[in-house]
Chains A and B, each alone.
Chain A
Amino acid sequence: MTLRNNLDEVDLKILDIITQNARIPFKDVAREVGISRAAVHQRVNRMIELEVIIGSGYHINPNKVDFKTCSYIGIYLEKGDLFTEVVEQLKRIPEIVECHYTTGQYAIFVKVYAKDNEHLKNILSSQVQKIQGIASTETFISLEQTFKREIPVNS
């Protein structure tokens, strides 16, 4: 096991547990890892300070809160240097949940959750394509998210 950012085996074990269940009592984590509860607190706080941990949250099933259309959109820019402004504008559209700067044919690649296809169409035509600097877009609709999980912490 290599040390990454001065994380040791115990840190990784803790991460492995709390990335799967954020509300697990720290005393249960302590028992599993074999250190004291205070030590777990200390280590978690340290990992927050190091920004290894950047937040916590409950997973929502988008389908159940009525977001039924999941899609990926590849974006072509008119000019590469418009990137920063375009990302700023994209950030204002709450339905865009992820945004990447990519290699390959697209300049920007985003993930969008919309209520239905019509909502997606509205997001595309009256929001995304109105952004200055975007030349064109290509949309891939996900018919099914077959799986989604976290990176393997302990490897």
Chain B
Amino acid sequence: MNNADYLEQPADIDQLDEKILKLITRNARIPFLEVARECGVSGAAIHQRVQRLLNIGVITGSEFIVDPQKLGYNTCAYMGIYLEKAKFHKQVVAAMSKIPEIVECHYTTGQYAIFIKIQTKTNKHLKKLIDEELQEIEGIARTETYMSLEMNFKRQVPIK
């Protein structure tokens, strides 16, 4: 970590911000006028608030959420990674960020050094990825894979 974000304080947001967040995190294309009506302020105020939330990094973007299976991504797996030496962490993460099927990457406590989430089209595709790409990365000692047979739910963090 090269910045001091371990000292990071929670952003300064008020109840109106929270109300706005609640509405727009559920539906990104909701007209701001509708948000304004619900919150009892003007449309311009909503624009201003959302822009501010973007500027201070509370919201980092917006997306349409797709069902990975409908796009042919049928295999979801979590993988715990053991490193040969802890100091390989940086280079291993750099190499992994080049593999687009790895959608999440964490530095964790517990038995694994790194913990990742992978989404592939088939089990074979996953195997190929592990064989040809992951195990090739210098510094990885071994991996442990947990396949997700079903994602029961997925949602955003609760806003009070």
Interface residues of A (CB under 8 A from B): 2, 4-5, 7, 15, 18-23, 50-67, 70, 72, 87, 90-91, 94-95, 97-106, 109, 113, 138-153, 155
Contact = CB atoms under 8 A, between A and B. Distances in A.
Contact of B157 (A22, A62, A101): A62
Contacts of A52: 66-67, 70-71
A27 to B, nearest CB: 14
B152 A87 contact: yes
B87 to A, nearest CB: 16
A54 B66 contact: yes
Contact of B29 (A22, A54, A106, A138): A22
Contacts of B72: 2, 4
Interface of B: 1, 5, 8, 10-11, 13, 21, 24-29, 56-68, 70-73, 76, 78, 93, 97, 100-101, 103-112, 114-115, 119, 144-159
Given A61-B60, A91-B152, A143-B107, 14 more contacts: A4-B71, A4-B72, A20-B61, A53-B64, A55-B26, A60-B21, A61-B57, A63-B5, A99-B154, A100-B150, A140-B110, A147-B105, A150-B66, A151-B119
B158 A95 contact: yes
A72 B64 CA distance: 25
A138 B153 contact: no
A56 B67 contact: no
Contacts of B111: 140
Given A100-B76, A104-B146, A106-B146, A145 B110 contact: no
Contact of B28 (A57, A67, A105, A155): A57
A134 B52 CA distance: 43
A19 B153 CA distance: 19
Contacts of A106: 146
